Amino acid sequence: MRVFEGRKFVGNLTKEDFLVYEDGVPQPITAVYLIKKTQIIHQEVEKRRQEEIRRPLPNLARRIVLVFEINEFLPKCEEVVDFLIKEVLQSQDKLTVITPIRAYNLKGEALQRLSREAIARQLKEKIRQDIWRVNVELRNLISDYKAVMNSQWRAGISGRDILYKIKNLKFLNEKQLIKFGEILKNFDGQKYLFLFYQEEELLMKKIFDDTGQSELQKMQFIKDIRFDVQKIKRLFADYSVHFNFLFITKVKWSNQLMEVTEFAPQQYENFKITGEFFSVFYNLAKATGGVTLSSQNPEAVFKKAVEVTESYYLLYYRPLNYRPDGKFRLIKVRVRDRHYKVIHRLGYIAD
Asked if residue 183 and residue 291 are part of one domain, the reply reads yes
User: How buried is 287 (Cβ within 10 angstroms: 0-12 exposed, 13-18 middle, 19+ buried)?
Assistant: buried
- Candidates 304, 263, 284, 264; CA nearest to 345 is 284
Give the whole-angstrom CA distance, residue 247 versus residue 244: 10
Average pLDDT along the chain:
83
What's the pLDDT at 183? 86
Asked if residue 181 and residue 256 are part of one domain, the reply reads yes
How many residues make up the chain in this entry? 351
Tens of pLDDT along 108-155? 678 788 899 999 999 999 999 999 998 888 888 878 877 777 765 555
Asked if residue 205 and residue 98 are part of one domain, the reply reads yes
What's the pLDDT at 254? 41
Q: How far is CA 29 from CA 21, 45, 120, 144, 150, in A?
A: 10, 9, 42, 60, 66
- Candidates 343, 349, 302; CA nearest to 328 is 349
Number of folded domains that form the chain:
2
Asked if residue 131 and residue 143 are part of one domain, the reply reads yes
Give, for all 351 residues of the chain, the pLDDT tens digit. 999 998 899 999 999 999 999 999 999 999 999 999 889 999 998 776 334 456 668 889 899 999 998 878 888 899 999 999 999 998 888 999 999 889 999 876 787 888 999 999 999 999 999 999 988 888 888 788 777 777 655 555 667 777 777 777 766 788 888 988 988 998 888 999 999 988 765 556 656 655 555 544 555 555 555 688 899 999 999 999 999 999 887 654 444 444 566 655 455 444 444 556 778 898 999 999 999 998 888 999 999 999 999 999 999 998 998 999 999 999 999 999 899 999 999 999 998
User: How buried is 107 (Cβ within 10 angstroms: 0-12 exposed, 13-18 middle, 19+ buried)?
Assistant: middle
Asked if residue 293 and residue 319 are part of one domain, the reply reads no
Please give the share of the chain, as a percent, with pLDDT higher than 70: 78
Owning domain of residue 136:
62-311
Asked if residue 277 and residue 322 are part of one domain, the reply reads no
User: Which contacts qualify for 207-215: CB closer than 8 Å, 24 or more apart?
Assistant: 207/142, 207/145, 207/146, 207/163, 207/166, 210/146, 210/150, 211/145, 211/146, 211/149, 211/150, 213/149, 215/272
Asked if residue 273 and residue 173 are part of one domain, the reply reads yes
Asked if residue 173 and residue 34 are part of one domain, the reply reads no
What's the pLDDT at 110? 80
Tens of pLDDT along 45-75? 877 633 445 666 888 989 999 999 887 888 8
Asked if residue 22 and residue 132 are part of one domain, the reply reads no
Asked if residue 328 and residue 205 are part of one domain, the reply reads no
In the chain, the N- to C-terminal Cα span, in Å, equals 22
Q: What is the pTM of this model?
A: 0.87
Asked if residue 51 and residue 197 are part of one domain, the reply reads no
